[in-house]
Amino acid sequence: MASVTSGSPSKLVPVSPASLAKAAATRGDPTAKPSAAPAQSLKSAAATLRSHTNATSLNGWAAIQSGSDPRMARGTVPGTHKSILVRREILPVFLDLLLRINREVMPLDKGPLDSWEYRDARLGGGLSNHASGTAIDFRYDVLKADHKVHMTGAQRAKMESILNSYKTADGHRVFGWGGEWKPGVACDEMHIEVGQAWQVGRSIGVRDFQYVQAHLHHASPTAAPKPKPAPKPAPSYGSVHLAWLKPGLTNGDVKRLQTALHSAGYKPGPINGTYDAQTRAAVRALQLHLGFKGADADGIPGAKSLAALKLSVDSGSAPKPSTFAPTVHLHLLKRGLTNADVKELQRALTAHGYKPGPIDGGFGPKTQAAVRALQLHLGFKGADADGLPGGKSLDALGLTVTS
């Protein structure tokens, strides 16, 4: 009898040579010799395996008969509404893999995504790797179960490149992919599993996944009891000055940064224009997601972080950042008036690079011209760019209208 490694690398479970050979042959192993056992005998063998508590799937991992088994865990693929149910020990690595497939190969939200299911392997030979919680199927609305090649050459090359980045300490890939099985016979591009020995070179165990997880170059998602809605795509929020995006400052550019972070699914706290600890933590989470490491993930955004949020850097000279009162009365911001609210408007305009003239609280022609320049920058046209601020103009300056 041959042996393969089960879910625990130290435990060996006997598997018949005929069963291994049959499984390997149907999936494209050129060296395997298929068993001559008739289909009915294979079904009986599978039934016998299921009747034992130590039944294993084709990759040698212990079968799990219930999705509520404590060895199982569910997690949501970041950036999607899709979740999978697999073994707890391998969930973070599977989610990281699917995150990359969603970004680099094809979107996962547009089609089905299946995981654990206690059943026989469709091509015979024993229990499916789905039965041990070590396999998933994705986008079978496109990839189909017809043994044909449906991905483009570029997609297949990207899949192989991604899969090759998940390797054990001794250089063996941890995942097997049905897209590498024989076209027309067993090709199954939608199927990814904990690799079988004949395909990846040796049996893969829990310790191998622990090693891979410890060396991930991408964010390692954790199990989530409930799927969370995917964050909405961030719209363009225009340009900001890097000098104004510093901890402790309060200004309109910080408010735009907070709005963009919130839209992208991060948590900057209240959108109030103040660069506080929550805002810095949200920027750091973005930087870690972008692959920043160590001191580079400092929570202070640079051009790369801002580009990911669809914010552009204003290359013009920026005056020294200032802190200003965030509230004004709209009816006091009129041509010819002189009051403290106009002075706050003038301070905010100056902080954002516009030129309202002396900060004296008098709403004169220079202040009106500065407001009009801001309105034109925001896309106002014609009579709408009248130099009299409204809610949108004041919001862009980090000023809040109060009654």
**Residues linked to residue 73 through DSSP beta bridges, in sequence order:** 86
Q: Around 100, how many Cα atoms within 13 Å sit in the side-chain half-sphere?
A: 20
Distance linking the first and last C-alpha atoms of the chain:
83
Can you name the CATH fold of 239-313?
Muramoyl-pentapeptide Carboxypeptidase; domain 1 (1.10.101)
Q: CA torsion angle for 297, 302, 304, 307 (degrees, to 10)?
A: 130
Q: Which residue has the higher pLDDT, 4 or 24?
A: 24
| Residue 117 in this model has a pLDDT that exceeds 50 | yes
Helix 365-377 to helix 340-351 angle, to the nearest 10 degrees? 50
Q: Exposure string (b/e) for 297-318, b if CB count within 10 Å is 16 or more?
A: bebebeeebbebbebeebeeeb
Least confident residue range of 79-88, 120-129, 171-180: 120-129
Residue 21's pLDDT is: 46
Can you name the CATH fold of 327-401?
Muramoyl-pentapeptide Carboxypeptidase; domain 1 (1.10.101)
Amino acid at 85: L
Q: Say yes or no: do domains 239-313 and 327-401 share a fold.
A: yes
| Residue 14 in this model has a pLDDT that exceeds 80 | no
Helix 91-104 to helix 153-163 angle, to the nearest 10 degrees? 150
SS3 string, 317-338, reads CCCCCCCCCCEECHHHCCCCCE
Residue 315's pLDDT is: 66
**Phi, psi (rounded to 5 degrees) for 394:** -65, -35
Token readout for 183 is 């076209």
Express as a percent the part of the chain with pLDDT over 90: 41
Using pLDDT thresholds of 50, 70 and 90, give the confidence band for residue 25. very low
* DSSP codes of every residue in 23-56: HHHHTT-TT-------HHHHHHHHHHHHTSTT-B
Cβ atoms of 119 and 127 closer than 8 Å: yes
| Residue 12 in this model has a pLDDT that exceeds 50 | no
Distance CA 267, CA 280 (A): 10
**Residues linked to residue 75 through DSSP beta bridges, in sequence order:** 84
Cβ atoms of 300 and 244 closer than 8 Å: no
175: closest CA among 124, 136, 141?
136
| Residue 133 in this model has a pLDDT that exceeds 60 | yes
12 Cβ contact partners less than 8 Å away, ≥ 6 residues apart: 3, 4, 5, 6
Q: pLDDT tens, 145-162?
A: 888 999 999 999 999 999
Residue 132's pLDDT is: 92
Q: How far is CA 214 from CA 93, 112, 390, in A?
A: 10, 29, 52
Q: How far is CA 16 from CA 9, 26, 29, 59, 156, in A?
A: 19, 16, 17, 13, 33
Q: Which residue has the higher pLDDT, 92 or 352?
A: 92
Q: Vertex 213, ends 208 and 217: CA angle to 5°?
A: 130
Residue 247's pLDDT is: 79
Q: pLDDT tens, 326-363?
A: 678 888 899 999 998 898 888 878 877 789 999 899 99
| Residue 20 in this model has a pLDDT that exceeds 50 | no
Residue 123's pLDDT is: 67
Distance CA 168, CA 205 (A): 10
244: closest CA among 254, 256, 258?
254
Token readout for 180 is 């590498």
Query: Among the ranges 17-26, 152-161, 181-190, which has the highest mean pLDDT value?
Result: 152-161
Residue 236's pLDDT is: 59
The alpha-helical segments, DSSP class H, found in 132-175 are 153-163
86: closest CA among 101, 121, 76?
76
31 Cβ contact partners less than 8 Å away, ≥ 6 residues apart: 24
Cβ atoms of 78 and 96 closer than 8 Å: no
Residue 124's pLDDT is: 66
Q: pLDDT tens, 271-315?
A: 888 888 899 999 999 999 999 998 888 899 998 999 888 888 876
Indicate the domain borders of the chain: 2-214, 239-313, 327-401
